[in-house]
Structure 1
């Protein structure tokens, strides 16, 4: 018995040294995660893990990703940990500008980390550029003895002489692979890594010559490998496509569309298997890049959706405004949106997108309730106590035109983005609520307290008028 205890203590000590046991066991409950938002950590700060990946170590999921300066150059690779995938604790900036001379002015993108059981080290691969343009197209490598410790930078290079941009890693039972967008993003290469995972041992293949794909995410379900990618359209979102194979070395199928034409305005970053007591679910993790509307990377939002599988060799992705995740059981559930009619206290009429328009800049006015989708609004959590109001008919957001802060600024619908002129506080006042624009602090207001159909809606300095007071009813 004493020998057994000694062996158990030794095994535990070795596991701690290897980083495979981190902290006390944690029991996660089911949580709800809202899509199209900026996540915040347990200290209330924005989570900057853009283009990132997740590694589970012990009871914790570790999320690594890009943390950039306002000019989009490299600040750090930051890491957060969580047991439930919603409550993220900031752990460390594991790689920073001071980690190496060539990182002083650089772009570091899409960091991914895997564990090497043979060396006992965590190995990170990234896409590295010079911070000025995208002429370097290099892969970079760093490693650490602990998952969230300081990573030693080992340098950057072009794998086997090939350009290397968006990357991902995959550990296939101890044999590791790096997948890289190569040759100006026209090719997609699969490389086998060396036994220490620090360099490339060989090219497995270029299976999609001239496909012009990037943002690869590789995962395996059953006996099928899935390669999920996006098109190469800069910050602008596009149609995700996937290919499948029964072996990483191929043969691989051609590309199949998944999701909608913009992948719900996101780009793949990673696919996370969530293995629990009941099932294993596969979570699509995407970035809704702020760069698509001219914002800095650190204003980007996250889109996480459950992947479903119509067959063993096909996948499907559908939109959900929020998901419920239970890491204990392994279940991920898409939640259906709830729509509301938003009624003005003064007139009894509702907020309406004129003529059922689905176009940007369409006018928002008040009309009598008719049940149409152009009068139904989803309140999406935008963080910080604010909401985006998304129209059911168009999928566009309630917006203060041109981001104006002036009294009388027009209210329209516009493609949803990260602007605070699309974020509204639902503030209680005398049994009703005001809708206060985050960027201006002004209130949603029916012009001249009109009570008729077609009365215009504007923003105006908040007061006590009933024409600034609203109620919402689920429909």
Structure 2
């Protein structure tokens, strides 16, 4: 019976019923590519280049090992965001070298790709955990390519900003020390984290970098945004002009706020970030943060979701916010509905970002929607 069920599931996953004939977004449903196979690009991000969108995400496999990187980063292309062409594996894990940082079986999550017009290089950053270390390494990985679909070449992994203090960290806290016996989650421990206890712990080797995204501002400056300090504090780090390294300029956002899964966009002169709380693979309520600049002071606003299941972000978790080319103030919220017991069955929750009468972003569930919503 178990084998029969697996066979039936495989038939459903690879069912080509609506491949390349998608007329509307259907959040949470199977989403076939041009081969009729459910798109395999989880925790992904999208870049627009020369008239096409390119979707990069984690390639998952069936079963409990599916959240390990057994294949690499998958790439798809589209002209309309609805119908996607499979472009192959943009970055392959190393199946031959057990000493490689991206050896098969490592954890490689949330890949994002941006293009550097000055160098002509496509730059990919991702969250990387070394094989056999669980989530202890908390690194970010870098790969580059000359072609948008790859192949990308792995360059290195690192913990960012080694030996650097955040721009918004008070001088009087840099020399502060704490007793070794603070009880985790006690008031004293939480205050110590706010005051930089974990930041100082990782000062020499570099800071933790887990869930991440990339953002390129209007001036071409790029930023790497990641969950740090044991997922308790977000860091926004400025990248070098070639996007291949860190300048050492970074800020802490919402210390002890327990934010992960960052996604960011700019609207009407304000920068907005949608994040989630930290509850493993289980969904929770999204958080909306706002700032006057990328490296400014970020403040919590509210949960941007409305309606039923708002406190579970419609059973999903944010990964990216996509500006729609050719349309004004049109943004798509991209999220994943994780399936940790069988990761290849993870579904995609894409919803249009709407705005309330105060100009704040709002996410409302829709069973089906089309681009025409942005023409209202």
TM over 0.5: yes
Unaligned runs of 5+ in 2: 1-19, 162-205
Task: Spell out the pairing of 1:417-428 with structure 2 (5 A cutoff).
Answer: none
Look up the match of 1:183. Answer: 229
Question: Cα distance, 1:316 vs. partner?
Answer: 0.7
Alpha-carbon displacement from aligned partner over 1:432-464 (angstroms, at most 9, x marks no partner): xxxxxxxxxxxxxxxxxxxxxxxxxxxxxxxxx
Q: Any idea what the Cα deviations from partners look like across 1:284-341, whole Å, max 9, x if unmatched?
A: 11100012xxx22211001111111115651111110111125xxx8378xxxxxxxx
Cα distance in 2 for residues equivalent to 1:312 and 1:143:
41
Contact 1:237/1:267 (<8 A) preserved:
yes
Residues 36-58 of structure 1, C-alpha deviations (whole Å, 9 max, x = no match): 12311001112111000000112
- Residue deviations 1:158-212 (CA, integer Å, cap 9, x gap): 0021011000000112110000100110000000001111111123310210000
2:181 matches 1:156: no
Structure possessing the higher relative contact order (Cα contacts under 8 Å, 6 or more residues apart): 2
Q: How does 1:124-203 map to 2 (within 5 A)?
A: 124-132=124-132, 133-160=134-161, 161-172=206-217, 173-203=219-249
Query: Cα RMSD over matched residues?
Result: 2.0
Match in the other structure for 1:109: 109
Residue aligning to 1:32: 24
Which residue matches 2:200? Answer: none
Q: 1:29 to 1:297 in 2, by over 3 A?
A: closer
What's the CA shift for 1:111? 0.2
Q: Which runs of 5+ in 1 are unaligned?
A: 1-27, 334-475
Structure 1 residues 275 and 45: CA distance shift in structure 2, 3 A: same
Tell me which structure has the larger Cα radius of gyration.
Answer: 1
Contact 1:323 1:332 (8 Å CA) reproduced: no
Matches within 5 A, 1:263-342: 263-276=313-326, 279-291=328-340, 295-311=341-357, 314-325=360-371, 331=374
Question: What's the TM-score once normalised by structure 1's chain length?
Answer: 0.60
2:94 corresponding residue in structure 1:
98
Q: Tell me the TM-score normalized by structure 2.
A: 0.76
- Structure with greater proportional strand content: 1
Question: In structure 1, how many angstroms separate the alpha carbons of the residues matched to 2:21 and 2:352?
Answer: 18
Q: 1:226 to 1:29 in 2, by over 3 A?
A: farther
In 1: Cα distance, 2:119 partner to 2:325 partner: 25
Match of 2:68 in 1: 73
Cα displacement (A) at 1:85: 1.0
Q: Is the 8 A contact 1:283 1:332 kept in 2?
A: no
Q: Is the contact made by 1:85 and 1:325 (CA closer than 8 Å) also made in structure 2? A: no
C-alpha distance in structure 2 between counterparts of 1:31 and 1:280, whole Å:
22
Give how far 1:29 is off: 11
**Aligned positions, number:** 299
The equivalent residue for 2:78 is: 82
Deviations 1:106-149, CA, capped at 9 Å, x for gaps: 11000001111111101000000124311110000001111102
8 Å CA contact 2:22–2:82 kept in 1: the answer is no
* CA distance in 1 between partners of 2:339 and 2:359 (Å): 33
Structure 1: how far apart are the matches of 2:22 and 2:374?
Answer: 9
Q: Is the 8 A contact 1:61 1:85 kept in 2?
A: yes
Alpha-carbon spacing, 1:92–1:332, altered in 2? closer, same or farther (3 Å): farther
Misfit runs of 4+, over 2 Å: 28-31, 98-102, 330-333
Distance 1:272 1:146 in 2: 21
